[in-house]
Structure formats: structure tokens, C-alpha cells
Amino acid sequence: MRLRRLGPLEVSVVGLGCNNFGGRIDEAAGRDVIDAALDAGVTFLDTADIYGGAGGSEEIIGRALEGRRDRAVLATKFGKPMGDGATRRGSRDYIRAALQASLRRLQTDVVDLYQHHEEDPDTPLEETIGTLDDLVAEGTIHAYGTSNYRAETVRRARALAGAGYVSEQNEYSWLVRDAERELLPTCAELGLGFIPYFPLASGLLTGWVGRNPPPEPGTRGRPRTGRASARVGRRARRLAARGRDRRACRRAAGRVGDRRRDEAGAGACERGGRRVGAERGRARGASSALRGVRHLEGV
């Protein structure tokens, strides 16, 4: 497994998105997936406090990593509504309380990458970034990032931040390429890593999904068929017409990574993004769990 620098962190180019833990898959299946990911050399695990129902994903990860925390680079997020009525979810007090809760659920004393999950229009950005810089200085997080930020807000954050600000996470795939307009160039200019989520469009780009037959009921791909699958088909045919197969896809992803020094996950074109089945992840055994390692399929 290739590794790449993300600020002070060294992460695998393929990461494991843990947004389905405690939701679509239970703890036993989640542990199977984590085991398979670690065995494959995946070190980067990405979750959020909101995943799995107010901390469920973090709790599963914390128990699964007991006794082997040193094998993983843990990334989590804060700032989405947790159902507790809290507002100003980028404020100093909120961030500190959210971090303590995540540390407890993850059973660790430090988060490697702590990410603000969305912009908070009610809190000055100076307060959010200043608090995260303080947490780096205190040693409770190693680095921090943003997620779902606009390019102009990323630029403002970079101007305010210290060296601990290392990444932006946003949606990016062959199907959804909006980030190419402003966000990716901005990150490259500012020396920030870019972490893509849904790199294979929740499984639509794996080659396993088509209109005939459509995805099975209850799977993640089911609601995204129709127009979306038609778009995938048209794009796939264009790529095929130009002689681009999976090897070409991997080469293209590698070139993106070479251009962006700290980008985490550009090599996820083929191996990342293959979804974990909703049916407890056991039917196909450990080899299926390994194929299910997805690259940052969370938001």
C-alpha cells in the first residue's frame, strides 16, 4: 500500500470511510471490514460524530481498534446537527465539547485529523480556526481540516490558520467533478491536501451497477439509478471509446496525486469506493469485506 503525506500525518492512499458503521452495517460487520482494511495496508480511517446515529460509528471503531490503535490514522468530523438542538457548531465551546465526546467514543487520547464538517455561518471563522489551532498546540489533535467548504472559505481559513490546517474534504468522482472548477485548484495553490468522498459515486462507478439489472432494493445504489446511471453509462462509453480501461483510470488518478503534493486518496479510482454490502458483510466472507473497503465514502 502506498503512503502519502498529509501535513504531519502519513496516510495510505486508500482510506476507509466509516459512515455506514452503526447504520447500514452492524458492529460485527464493521469489525470485519476494519480487519480486512488493516490487513490490506489501509491505515486511514475516516468517520464523523454524526455517523451511526450520534456517535455509533466512532464507538464501533474505538472498540475495534482496542489494543491496536497505533495501526490507524484516525480522522473524524464535527459540526453537523447531532439532534441535541445545539447551534453555533463551529464555536469554541462547541468544538471542545465535541472533541471530548469523540475522544471518549474512539477510546483514544488524540485525534489525528479533526475536520469541521460544514461551514458555520453563525460563528466567525476566526473563532473556529483559532480553536482548532489551540487544540493542535495542546496535543489533543495532530492536525485539522475542513469539509464541504466553498473555495473562498478555504482560502480565508488558510489565511487565518497555522500549520495544523492540512486538508479539505469534499465530493469528487468521475461522475461528480464540480471540485475541479475552483476547489481543487485552490487546494493545490494553498498546499492543502484534498480528500475525496464518494469517489465511486456510492458504487455506481465500480462496474457492478447498471440499469439492466438495476441495484437490488435496499442497497445504496438503488435511489441513484435512472438519470444518474444513464450519465455513468454515457461517460463510461466515452471513456471506452478513447481506449480508457481500469488501468488508464488508475494512471489518471496517479497523475492527479502527483500534481497535488498532499492529496490523500487520488489512487482510489479502482480499489477505493467498492461498497460494503448492507447485508451484514458476511455472505462473501473476508475476501468480500476486503473488496468492500471504500475510500472515504462518508459525508
Closest CA to 174 of 153, 205, 149, 213: 205
CA gap 267, 4 in Å, rounded: 10
Give yes or no for a contact between 232 and 175, defined as CB atoms under 8 angstroms apart.
Answer: yes
Closest CA to 2 of 39, 46, 43, 32: 43
CA gap 144, 83 in Å, rounded: 24
Length of the chain: 299
CA gap 121, 109 in Å, rounded: 30
CB burial of 249-279 (b: ≥16 within 10 Å; e: otherwise) equals ebeebeebbeebebbbbbbbbbbbbbbbbee
CA gap 265, 32 in Å, rounded: 22
What are the strands, taking DSSP E only, across the chain? 3-6, 9-12, 15-17, 44-46, 73-78, 111-116, 141-147, 165-171, 193-197
165, β-bridge pairs = 144
Q: Is 165 a catalytic residue?
A: no
Closest CA to 276 of 48, 57, 91: 57
> Which residues carry out catalysis?
51
